[in-house]
Every structure is written in structure tokens, then in C-alpha cells.
Amino acid sequence: MEDLAGSETWRVFRIMSEFVEGFESLSHIGPAITIFGSARTGKNDKFYKKTLEVAELLARNGFAVISGGGPGIMEAANHGAQKGKGLSVGLNIMLPMEQKPNRFQDKSLTFRYFFVRKVMFVKYASGYIIMPGGFGTLDEFFESLTLIQTGKLRRFPVVLMGKKFWGGLLDWVKNTMVREGMISPADLDLFHVTDDPEDALAHIVAFHEKQARPVGERRERNRLPPKNMESGKAKGKITAPRARVAK
């Protein structure tokens, strides 16, 4: 029993060390968007390509991009961030079947404990983009809604990408959870659903533009670029100055 108690005590210090390392490493990354999704998604999958596109758009508009650091959607998020000349952050996790970190990370951390890693995902995020994924992705999606709903977390934009993929789940949320009174109809406004990477970017930027506007200030909201913008690096470019993004 004494050996067990000693082991548990030292575990506390390991947990503390992960928090300290995470706080020190990520405190200066600026406004960042965390992208979640499946590690099993191949490079030819449409959602891999959409993740690559949305991450590049985010990077070109001044956001760092955070992922879980592994393969699949996580790799696409980090790769897109680098293509967009932005900061690419990977928060890796030690698993029994070891997760191999992808090679597109400018800043890479590895965690033993899921809960410490999850704190880093949310603490340094100015928004979430939830791509199709499995249990882990669902966990992050619903936890973010729970924290926002209960006021434990400042509200930030949560974007689901993949209307068809998420459709069945959202139908159940609307037709069962809301109807049975388990959540309020207004809770459906806590997230935005889209298939379009440019729309995801526009939603995030518009949210932060609104949050950053001083109370009582009256001015016309910046117009978003039209869908038929010229292709190239400027495609989807929406100004999001770092100093104006709400923390």
C-alpha cells in the first residue's frame, strides 16, 4: 500500500509537469483554431482535402492551427497550416499502439494524459473545427458544447464540417434531445454546420469581429468576399488582425 501511495504521489508531479510544459510552450502562439477529426482518413479522402483547404485558409488569415499531431485529418490540418505559412501545432498523445506524429508540425508536444492534452486544445483555441471522426472527435465536440453551455468556457465558434456525415446525429439531437427537453432549442445555435471551407473561415472571423467590437459602437459589418473570388493565395482572404481576435 505504501508503494502504491508513493506511485500515485509521483503521478501528480508527472501531471503537473505536463501542464507546465504545455502552458509554457503554447502561451505565445496567438489566436489559434483547433481542428479535430479521424486518424483513419486517407490522403485521397474528400475530408482530408477539405481539412487541408480550411487549414490553409485559416493560416493565411492569421490563425495558428492546432491538431492532435497524428495521421489522417490531424496530418491534413498541420500540412494545410504550413502551406498557408502559418504556425502548425501538434499535440500528440502516447497510446498503447503508439501514435506516430506527422511531419508537418512546427511546434510539437507529446502528452501521457488525455485530460491534460484536452485542456491545451481548448485553452489555446479561438475556435474549433470538427471534421468527421470517431469517438474521440465526438468527445471533443460534445465536451466543448457542455463547457460553453454551462458557462465554464467563454463562447467561441464551433464548426461542424460535413453535413451528410453529421446529419443523422444532428437529426437525433434536434428530434429527440430537444423534443424531450434534455437541451434547449437555443443550444443548437452553439455550433455551425457547413460543407464549405470558406464558409467555415467566414463564420469564425465574423464571430470574432462581433465579439471584438466595443459595446455601443455602431459601424457596418465588413462584407465577406463573394464565392466567385479569384483563385490563388488570396482566395478566401478575410482580414482578422491578431489584436482584434477575442481571447
User: For the domain that residue 130 is a member of, what is the CATH number?
Assistant: 3.40.50.450
Domain count along the chain: 1
Q: In what order do the strands lie in the sheet with 32-36?
A: 107-111, 88-93, 64-67, 32-36, 127-130, 158-161, 192-194
| pLDDT at residue 212, rounded to an integer | 60
| pLDDT at residue 188, rounded to an integer | 97
Identify the DSSP state of 37: -
SS3 of 215, please?
coil
Identify the DSSP state of 200: H
| pLDDT at residue 245, rounded to an integer | 38
CA dihedral of 212, 213, 215, 216, whole degrees rounded to 10:
180
| pLDDT at residue 226, rounded to an integer | 40
Grid cell 470574432 in the structure block, residue: 208
CA distance linking residue 108 with residue 91, whole number of Å:
6
Identify the DSSP state of 61: T
Torsion sign over Cα 29, 189, 221, 35: positive
| pLDDT at residue 195, rounded to an integer | 98
SS3 of 28, please?
coil
Residue 163, phi-psi category: left (phi > 0), alpha (psi -120 to 50), beta (remainder) = alpha
CA distance linking residue 104 with residue 119, whole number of Å:
22
φ and ψ at residue 158, rounded to 5 degrees: -120, 120
Cβ–Cβ < 8 Å for 88, 105: yes
In which domain, by residue range, is 90 found? 2-244
CA distance linking residue 38 with residue 48, whole number of Å:
9
pTM of the model: 0.82
| pLDDT at residue 100, rounded to an integer | 83
> What would the pLDDT profile of 81-140 be if each residue is shown by its tens digit?
999 999 999 999 998 775 688 999 999 999 999 999 999 999 999 999 999 999 999 999
CA distance linking residue 15 with residue 115, whole number of Å:
10
Q: Which residues of the chain fall below pLDDT 70?
A: 1-6, 98-99, 212-247
Grid cell 471533443 in the structure block, residue: 140
